[in-house]
Structure 1
Amino acid sequence: MTTQHDPIDPVAPEGVDLERPNVARVYDWFLGGSANWAIDREFGSQVLKQFPEVKTFARVGRDFLGRGVGYLARQGITQFLDIGSGVPTVGNVHQIASAINPDSRVVYVDIEPVAVAHSQLLLEREGLLGRHAVLQGDVRDPADIWKRALETGVIDPRQPIGLVLVGLLYFLGPDEPVYEMVQRYLDFLPSGSYFLSSHLTEDGVTRKEGDNRENVQELYKKTSAPFHLRSRAEFTAFFDGLELVEPGIDWMATWHLDEADSRASDRFADDPTFTGGLGGLGRKP
């Protein structure tokens, strides 16, 4: 068995914690990426034993992000604030948006140093630093993130913005002022902006033999960010004051499934409840 000190792993960037698995790096491993360490892969393997569909589920979330960003770009949204953006992989926000509108601009924000470093390298390699930007920051501090996002010069606060919090809110627990936090971000957004988000739930979820997702939740308590489930009603409450885009709050696997090629999501089209993932998009009047 490999260990976190296995020589195949690169030297960790400054500030990277290798004492515990990190959820962004584990997610990167689920998606087939390389920005992860042995401790993350070993944890991911434990999750796979409890819930063999987890890699496909990760791709369902990525599909949803892509379809949501594509929808916004087709509505004329040209600037995005992607918080909790994670490690770059196939189908990043700037790539999806720019394929539809070459003038699109993105500010990426993540708390994990590896995610920030890899995002920086990707943009440098593509020659896109300046048009897009990367920040290290904590979603729990909306004022700081908003201030620094504007200081990049990438985002114009007078024009509609696509706020992206996909695969993030369930890592914030019930003892945190999560609704107030989201509302602060929404208050910053100008009229005509959109809020794209997702969440995990138990509401109406189909269970199958060998489905040990409760054990997965227990495993995640050992990571840098345990996750918390919310009901459909609790997730819907994040969109209070917004105009929900049809079909409203829906399963990620079927939300606007016709918007793009989504092979992982197609697998669950007949029973999207099994994924336990909800998604939604709201427009600020």
Structure 2
Amino acid sequence: MKKHNWLTGLLLAFALCAAVCAEDKPAPDAEVPASTASKPDEGFKETTPPDIGLQPGVLPPVEVQQAPKEEIPKPGAPPMPEYWTAGKEQLDKELDKRQGGGGTEAETGGNATAPQSSNALQRTGWSPWKSLGQVTAAFAVILACMLLINYFLGRFGKRVPMLAGANLGTLIGRLYLSPKACLYFIRVKGKVLIVGVTPTSVSSVAEMDASEFDSLPAAAPSTIKPGSKSETGSPAGDKFLSQLKTFMRANPQTPKSAREDDEIATLRGDIARLRRELKEGTQEHGE
């Protein structure tokens, strides 16, 4: 019984507290008078929060603000200073005035009729006659260098072993005995060598002094061509050949003696022996 009375009193106390709180709060539909709303000391009007409609496990949308992109400077030439640009413009104006260009496009109102390519050619001063003169001068310099090289080779070439044999002999001429056989006359110092040439062989025919060769008929061997009727193709060639045969009969070539053959054989043996010794020494050094 006592327990029931205690619970009843507790419920009544809660009911009284709820009634007192309900009397202090204004009605939700009640309008606040304008006189009370204008007073700053009476507090703010209580408003209900908006219904966001939250669901379990779902986050509200959040606006993501992206940071502004930084402009990356492009690689290139650094900007020209102002004084340099002004100086370049002044120089262009002076060039246009001297060449009759009439100033820049800004000064003429943008009505320039001459193309830029022609202006560039005028500024560089190009002309076909000038280019032709430069080519001619370069060709003259190259020709002078070639002549100088030829002069120095002729003067100092004898001291160079590789060029020493360039002037050992002079070809006087040739005499055709048949379409496939001819005689070459080569002057070497005070001698004239007569060399026979065929498609299969080259051999020394005779050797004579230059004075004796000059005493032969004045038929230039270099001008004699092969013929069909005569032996050499011309009367002068026949006469020259007959005189040459007469000279060779009067001065026969002395054959090599046995002693000279022995000396040549001995020299060849010495050369072979030296080669063998050199080869053996090279093999021992390699081992």
**TM-score bucket (shorter structure):** under 0.3
TM-score, normalization by structure 1: 0.16
Greater RCO (CA < 8 Å, at least 6 residues apart): 1
From the two aligned structures, give the one with the greater helix fraction.
2
Q: Which has the higher Rg, Structure 1 or Structure 2? A: 2
